[in-house]
Amino acid sequence: MPFPSCACSAFVLSIILAASSPIQAQHDWPVFRGNGLQTGVANSTLSDSLTTLWTFKAVDSIEGAPVIAGRTVFVGCWDGSLIALDLANGKKKWTYKSKTIKNSSPAVHDGVVYIGDTGGTLHAVDAASGEKRWTFTTAGEINSSANFAGTKILIGSDDHHLYCLNADGKLAWKCKTKEKVRGAAAVVGDRVLFGGCDQLLHIVDLNTGHDLKTIQLAGHVGASVAVWGDQAYVGSMANRFHALNVKTAEIVWKFEAKRTPQPFFSSAAVTENLVVVGSRDKRVHALQRQTGKEVWLFPTEGRVDSSPVIVGNRVLVGSYDGHLYVLDLARGTELSRFHFGPMAGAPAVADQCVVVATIPGAVHCLGAKTK
């Protein structure tokens, strides 16, 4: 199944970063990249020896990523189902039906699960019961995933808007762009950052929705933006990966693979020293965060649209070749691999477990080997 070709007041991100870590102070993985800054770094730990604890077979393809909250796994399926699974054993708790779900991953906030569908509707579903709270309809498919700022909900749509909704589903504001919005927004203080198929990085005022700054990327953006300090990191479908200074609206560095460069649909994982991202060149690239110099690359046998997740000194990433790879963060060497089937969504890590979903429609949970 092909992916889409698309696939601004004073700004004090460095002060915000100094005040708090970008990693949430809890062990859930409630949004697509784990936290509001979209860094893709887990706060939970994992055993050095992982084994498959359970597998759940869905009735259709899964291209979005699972999320984990309150020891429950939430995942969207192409048949329009939002499914809740018990993290302990993989047993289904409930199913909620909508129209077909494509790339949209669920997101959980204050006991509510949010997911978009191809009919352009954002569904707010009670996380405990699976009952509908409310819906909000846009004029285009929703392939983006939600992020949150206090009680506000942020979601992109193919109708060329980023929407900000209140907790009751009423519109707070919408920011118009020139093309589709498919990546999840990052939230930093009173600023929202997102890329779009209009080839721009948008920096938007959280309170008003006004576009304060834009940065030209010269390529469609289908990935989510990751933020560390006063810099944002995102790749484009024009084969380039960018580091951007969001205070000055300038490009700090650009990276393009030396051999057979291909688009970046994968969203990056970011630490103090490294940026790790997958590419359709079938490789995982690790770059120096401050300079963009390549530190290592790891080849797979399929395109890497899956977004890497960093857990301690390891990187977990899926590939279209059917493998979930576990790599050494510092060197990029393979530590282990698991064959589950082609993967497009990112892993989710919580409570010493990693959960992945596959395009053939299976959800797998890995954890420590039991005696």
Share in percent of the chain as helix, strand, coil (round to 5): 0, 45, 55
Helix (H, G, I), strand (E, B) or coil at 312: coil
- Per residue in 244-295, pLDDT (tens digit) is 998 899 999 999 999 999 999 999 999 999 999 999 999 999 999 999 999 9
Is 6 inside a domain boundary?
A: no
Number of domains in the chain: 1
Secondary element (H or E) of residue 253: strand 250-255
Phi then psi for residue 295, to 5 deg, are -95, -45
Looking up residue 327, the CATH number of its domain turns out to be: 2.130.10.10
Side-chain-side CA neighbours of residue 302 (13 Å): 16
Contact (CB, 8 A) for 292 and 253: yes
Structural domain boundaries, residue 207: 13-368
Is 167 inside a domain boundary?
A: yes
Taking the C-alpha atoms of residue 328 and residue 310, their distance in angstroms, rounded to an integer, is 10
Is 353 inside a domain boundary?
A: yes
Name the pTM for this structure: 0.92
Q: Which of residues 69 and 2 earns the better pLDDT score? A: 69
Q: How far is CA 286 from CA 67, 242, 349, in A?
A: 24, 13, 20
* pLDDT confidence of residue 371: 59
- Per residue in 98-150, pLDDT (tens digit) is 988 988 999 999 999 999 999 999 999 999 999 999 999 999 999 999 999 99
Taking the C-alpha atoms of residue 173 and residue 165, their distance in angstroms, rounded to an integer, is 7
Taking the C-alpha atoms of residue 287 and residue 249, their distance in angstroms, rounded to an integer, is 21
Is 8 inside a domain boundary?
A: no
Is 304 inside a domain boundary?
A: yes
User: How does residue 21 score in pLDDT terms, banded at 50, 70 and 90?
Assistant: very low
Is 203 inside a domain boundary?
A: yes
Taking the C-alpha atoms of residue 188 and residue 37, their distance in angstroms, rounded to an integer, is 7
Taking the C-alpha atoms of residue 115 and residue 124, their distance in angstroms, rounded to an integer, is 7
The amino acid that residue 317 corresponds to is V
* pLDDT confidence of residue 16: 35
Is 326 inside a domain boundary?
A: yes
| DSSP, res 370 | P
CA neighbor of 326 nearest in space, from 309, 342, 340 = 309
